[in-house]
Amino acid sequence: MNAEKQYIDFYKEVKDTIAERSSQEMNTCREAALHTFATQGFPLPKVERYRYAKVEADFSPDYGIALTPINGPLPPHCFRIAEATPYARTLYNKVADTSDSIVALNTMLSVDTLVVHVPKGTRVEHPIQINNTLKGEQDTMVCRRILIIMEELAQADVIITDRATSQSRFLTNQVVEVVMHDGSHLSLYETEETHLLCTRYSSVFVRQGRNSTFHHTNLTLFNGHTRNRLDVQLQGEGSEVTANGCVIADKMQRVDNNTLIDHQVPNCRSNELYKYVLDDNAVGAFAGKILVREGAQKTVSKETNANLCATRSARMYTQPMLEIYADDVKCSHGSTVGQMDDAALFYMRQRGIDEKEARLLLKAAFITEVIESIPLESLRDRLHVLVDKRLRGELSKCEGCKLCQ
Amino acid sequence: MTDDNSFVREVAEKKYEYGFTTDVQTDIIEKGLTEDIVRLISQKKGEPEWLLEFRLKAFRYWLTIEQPTWGHLKMPHIDYQDISYYADPTKSKNKEPGEIDPELMKTFDKLGIPLEERMALAGTAVDAVMDSVSVKTTFREKLQEKGIIFCSFSEAVREHPQLVRQYLGSVVPYKDNYFAALNSAVFSDGSFVYIPKGVRCPMELSTYFRINARGTGQFERTLIVCDDDAYVSYLEGCTAPMRDENQLHAAIVEIIVNERAEVKYSTVQNWYPGDSEGKGGVLNLVTKRGHLRGANSKLSWTQVETGSAITWKYPSCILTGDNSQAEFYSVAVTNNHQQADTGTKMIHLGKNTRSTIISKGISAGKSQNTYRGLVRVAKDAEGARNYSSCDSLLLGSQCGAHTFPYMDIHNDTAVVEHEATTSKISEDQLFYCNQRGINTEEAVSLIVNGYAKEVINKLPMEFAVEAQKLLGVSLEGSVG
């Protein structure tokens, strides 16, 4: 219980400071969150959804905790929670799984919430980019909270990027809540390019209304330890979700993606594609569950997880799950773990491409399927470049920052 | 539509065929589980000291652990003190030694089990186990000529103690899980098979299990040792009378496969599934595991699961020998309120090991059918290969089909594939059949049988016929 204790003690100490800097709707949720966190503690690996995460070890180091509210000018449709509409404020902590202790820890310690609120029928022309740059000399923990509200027929692209520019240890605990009204459309992209000392816990909760479409892409290009959770509730008929992700990991990196797509009503579609390239001693985990509730007829769902292990010591845990309580559905899932195609390698070697380059091309081609599914062209192009750089080992040594030892 | 309904009614009212009881004097010990009971069972069976020690160690360990709850099952509360752990139907008073009660003979005749050598044409050696005791094992002498040992577990303990002692608990240790510990403490009878080096067993070996007495559980133990270059095909069948209480069946099957040996293990499980309201039925909580010790060895599990109120078992393979091969073929059918959480574990330890998993789930009525499987490739298991395919078929809108595969890959040379689909019978297929004059129920039966064919084909012939019939009985009532 020691790891939990330092957070509880810290909270009790700075409770008043947090309350002062924060808003009322956030403060009202704190005590319940403290109770959840204190009674449950950090989830152990025997909790099914945390099977592959080492939560206690990740949260044990002594971090300074950042308690700064959001500052600086915000792009259109973005607000601090105190300045958001009363309706938006009522939605705070309503979509997130409040019984989860990692979420509870975030609720307890977050000082501010970034609200992205797109009004009815509005199409946001330019993508909204939320850049999180971690820098500082001290080991720091950051609790970040984002609430996205898409009103009826609204459309937007949101990009969340995580970067780290100094060589300290960072721990990010992010909670994103998304409320999508009927007919709205949201593409949410998350990219992570941090360094080996960074730990990221991200929980994204989405609630979708009728005929809404949600497109989520999660790219882990460089990290230390990462756990991403994505929970999507399809609550309106005709809604559709696409959840894609790719992971490139080497050295001692660890990436765990845990998704739940909950089909609550008939006639919804979901599509999931996750691809991992693991090198050196990297550990990858993917656990995706498709839940089709009773009565959710005509559900069409497809889940694919493909993994490439490039070394002996790389490990992959994969768990694509289907839980189905309705009969008129089409659900499938597939999962593979394997190596590079020898025939393809041979083909390239024959044509004078050296082995290293050939392997690199194959890895890049493997990942391409995920990148190509991104509707935003400029981002797609940028990501192709980033992936290529990453595979060549250049991303971890780019100029201007000391990302990697 | 009226035709459909009358058919549904007709089949839904179809009784569980094997639900009769046998009126035979049975020696049942009092209910409850204490150290004294464990000693009493051991004493009744006249067991040596080492086996009693084994039981007691298991019992003491069992007391320290709790019943697991992770299965996707709604498990009724099991009162372990309300079960009698030993029932012996062979204990008639006025009986010549070696003679079988005619009532028992009738029971097994009714079940179609050839207990007498007159059934030699059937070409199967049978060990029949009723409640806690093996009733008769056929063809023993003939098998003995080849050096094959096929007898009840109790006899094996008496006649081949060194073999039993060497292998008992070597694949499923008593600390393995809750039910394994329980079984290790109170196990009664079961079969013991030893195939010596280079011998190909000339006939199918088979064990028939039946629970008869009320308020008892069955805790049998099967141990199969297949030495170098040997081969055996082993079948297991089970039935129980209809009762409105839940009866517990917690067995252990251990299989040891040495170099270049091959074992085929087939199960047709048809324990009483409970009535259409979900009352009664057998709780089938079994630990089955094979250890492929030798290089180039092969083990194949085939199971057709149609009975039991709850089925919770994972016949598994540990592939230690290089180039060893394991297969798992399963059809699990659940209807009414039945629940099944079944699958397999393939643990690849040796080099170039390969495993295949084919699982077909069929759920109907208000049942829940879960496939849960683990494929683990250890760090040194170079060139391991696994292919898993799990399909679920849903008949009816109130049932559930779930797939929880786990893959833990610790080696880069492994190639592991998993795929699963869940769907109902396609309208197109039905329409195609209807168009050609095949009515809906026949069409469904045709499609379901075709769907399960891949697994049923792996069964020995006599069993395949029985399994096909069982599929029909278990399912056709649910077409709607």
CA-CA distance, A77 to A84, in Å (whole number)?
9
**What pLDDT, on a 0 to 100 scale, did the predictor assign at position B109?**
65
CA-CA distance, A87 to A151, in Å (whole number)?
11
pLDDT (tens digit, 9 = 90+) per residue, A43-81? 988 888 888 888 988 998 888 888 888 887 888 999 999
The residue ranges of DSSP E strands in B138-213, in sequence order, are 149-152, 191-195, 204-210
Query: Residue B204 belongs to what domain range?
Result: 23-425
**Is A366 inside any structural domain?**
no
- For an interface test with B, the pick among A304, A317, A330, A337 (most B C-beta atoms closer than 10 Å) comes out as A337
**Is A356 inside any structural domain?**
no
Rg over CA atoms, chain B: 22
Query: Residue A148 belongs to what domain range?
Result: 2-342
**Is B432 inside any structural domain?**
no
Name the burial class of residue B438, with classes exposed (0-12), middle (13-18) and buried (19+) by CB atoms within 10 angstroms of its CB.
middle
Rg over CA atoms, chain A: 21
Instruction: Tell me which DSSP letter residue B359 carries.
Output: E
| Structural domain count of chain B | 1
Distance, C-alpha A178 to centroid of its chain: 13
Give me the residues paired with residue B205 across strands.
B125, B234
Tokens read off for B105:
């003979």
Nearest to B346 by CA among B294, B302, B406, B266: B406
Partners of B414 on chain A (C-beta within 8 Å) are 309, 337-338
**Is A348 inside any structural domain?**
no
Instruction: Tell me which DSSP letter residue B23 carries.
Output: -
Partners of B351 on chain A (C-beta within 8 Å) are none
**Is B346 inside any structural domain?**
yes
Partners of A315 on chain B (C-beta within 8 Å) are 408-410
**Is B369 inside any structural domain?**
yes
Tokens read off for A190:
């998350």
Q: How confident is the model at residue A98 (pLDDT cuts 50, 70, 90)?
A: very high
**What is the rounded average pLDDT of the residues A324-353?**
88
Q: How far is A233 from chain B (nearest CA, A)?
A: 19
Q: What is the mean pLDDT of chain A?
A: 90
Name the burial class of residue B427, with classes exposed (0-12), middle (13-18) and buried (19+) by CB atoms within 10 angstroms of its CB.
exposed
Instruction: Tell me which DSSP letter residue B30 carries.
Output: P
Query: CB–CB of B415 and A322 under 8 A?
Result: no
| Structural domain count of chain A | 1
Residue in chain B nearest A285 by alpha carbon: B408
Element (H, E) at B393: strand B385-395
CA-CA distance, A99 to A381, in Å (whole number)?
39
**Is B275 inside any structural domain?**
yes
Partners of A330 on chain B (C-beta within 8 Å) are 421-423
CA end-to-end distance (rounded Å), chain A: 32
Element (H, E) at B49: helix B49-64
**Is A401 inside any structural domain?**
no
**Is A380 inside any structural domain?**
no
| DSSP letters for B96-155 | -TT---HHHHHHHHHTT---SGGGGGG-EEEEEEETTEEEEE-SHHHHHHTT-EEEEHHH
Name the burial class of residue B403, with classes exposed (0-12), middle (13-18) and buried (19+) by CB atoms within 10 angstroms of its CB.
buried
Partners of B407 on chain A (C-beta within 8 Å) are 316-319, 335, 337
Q: How confident is the model at residue A103 (pLDDT cuts 50, 70, 90)?
A: very high
Query: CB–CB of A312 and B412 under 8 A?
Result: yes
Residue A405 has pLDDT above 50, yes or no: no
CA-CA distance, B328 to B301, in Å (whole number)?
5
**Is A158 inside any structural domain?**
yes
Q: Which among B70, B412, B419 is the nearest to A339, CB-wise?
A: B412
Q: Each residue's pLDDT tens digit in chain B (480 positions)?
A: 344 445 444 444 455 666 667 666 677 788 888 999 999 989 888 889 999 999 999 999 999 999 998 888 888 888 888 888 888 776 554 444 455 666 666 666 666 655 554 344 445 566 777 666 666 667 777 888 889 998 888 889 999 999 999 999 999 999 999 999 999 999 888 889 999 999 998 888 888 777 777 777 888 899 999 999 999 998 887 766 666 778 888 999 999 999 999 999 998 888 888 887 888 888 999 999 999 999 999 999 999 888 889 999 999 999 999 999 999 999 998 888 899 999 999 999 999 999 999 999 988 888 999 999 999 999 889 999 999 998 888 888 888 889 898 989 888 888 888 888 888 887 888 899 999 998 887 888 888 888 888 888 888 776 777 777 777 666 655 554
**Is B104 inside any structural domain?**
yes
Taking a C-beta distance cutoff of 8 angstroms, is the pair B167, B123 a contact?
no
The single-letter code of the amino acid at A24 is: Q
CA-CA distance, A103 to A55, in Å (whole number)?
13
Q: CB-hemisphere CA count at 13 Å for B475?
A: 27
Residue A32 has pLDDT above 60, yes or no: yes
Q: CB-hemisphere CA count at 13 Å for B331?
A: 28
Query: How long is chain B?
Result: 480
Tokens read off for A227:
């756990």
- B387 interfacial to chain A (CB closer than 8 Å): no
CB under 8 Å to B42, separation ≥6 — which residues?
B51, B52, B55
**What pLDDT, on a 0 to 100 scale, did the predictor assign at position A69?**
84
CA-CA distance, B17 to B270, in Å (whole number)?
10
**What pLDDT, on a 0 to 100 scale, did the predictor assign at position B216?**
78
Residue in the structure block whose two tokens are 């599990």: B301
CA-CA distance, A298 to A276, in Å (whole number)?
30
> Helix (H, G, I), strand (E, B), or coil: what is residue B353?
coil
CA-CA distance, B284 to B262, in Å (whole number)?
27
Query: CB–CB of B407 and A319 under 8 A?
Result: yes
For CA atoms B417, B422, B426, B429, give the dihedral sign.
positive
Instruction: Tell me which DSSP letter residue B171 carries.
Output: S
**Is A99 inside any structural domain?**
yes
CA-CA distance, B335 to B476, in Å (whole number)?
10
pLDDT (tens digit, 9 = 90+) per residue, A118-149? 999 999 999 999 988 888 888 999 999 999 99
For CA atoms B389, B393, B397, B401, give the dihedral sign.
negative
**Is A399 inside any structural domain?**
no
Tokens read off for B160:
């081949």
Taking a C-beta distance cutoff of 8 angstroms, is the pair B91, B131 a contact?
no
Q: What is the pairing mode between strands B204-210 and B231-239?
A: parallel
**Is B129 inside any structural domain?**
yes
Query: CB–CB of A317 and B406 under 8 A?
Result: yes
- For an interface test with A, the pick among B369, B375, B402, B415 (most A C-beta atoms closer than 10 Å) comes out as B402
Q: How far is A316 from chain B (nearest CA, A)?
A: 5
**What would the 3-class secondary structure string for chain A be?**
CHHHHHHHHHHHHHHHHHHHHCCHHHHHHHHHHHHHHHHHCCCCCCCHHHCCCCHHHHHCCCCEECCCCCCCCCCCCEEEHHHCCHHHHHCCCCCCCCCCHHHHHHHHHCCCCEEEEECCCCECCCCEEEEEEECCCCCEEEEEEEEEEECCCCEEEEEEEEEECCCCCEEEEEEEEEEECCCCEEEEEEEEECCCCEEEEEEEEEEECCCCEEEEEEEEEECCEEEEEEEEEECCCCCEEEEEEEEEECCCCEEEEEEEEEECCCCCEEEEEEEEEECCCCEEEEEEEEEECCCCCCCEEEEEEEEEECCCCCEEEEEEEEEECCCCCEEEEEEEEECCCHHHHHHHHHCCCCHHHHHHHHHHHHHHHHHHCCCCHHHHHHHHHHHHHHHCCCHHHCCCCCCCC
Q: How confident is the model at residue A165 (pLDDT cuts 50, 70, 90)?
A: confident
**Is B90 inside any structural domain?**
yes
Residue in chain A nearest B387 by alpha carbon: A336
Integer CA distances (angstroms), B324 to B120, B255, B257, B335, B354, in order? 34, 14, 10, 36, 7
**What pLDDT, on a 0 to 100 scale, did the predictor assign at position B121?**
40
**Is B468 inside any structural domain?**
no
- For an interface test with B, the pick among A277, A303, A304, A325 (most B C-beta atoms closer than 10 Å) comes out as A325
**What pLDDT, on a 0 to 100 scale, did the predictor assign at position A45?**
84
- B426 interfacial to chain A (CB closer than 8 Å): no
Q: CB-hemisphere CA count at 13 Å for A165?
A: 10
- B395 interfacial to chain A (CB closer than 8 Å): yes
Taking a C-beta distance cutoff of 8 angstroms, is the pair B346, B379 a contact?
no
**What pLDDT, on a 0 to 100 scale, did the predictor assign at position A155?**
96
> Helix (H, G, I), strand (E, B), or coil: what is residue B56?
helix
ipTM: 0.75
**What is the rounded average pLDDT of the residues A249-277?**
94
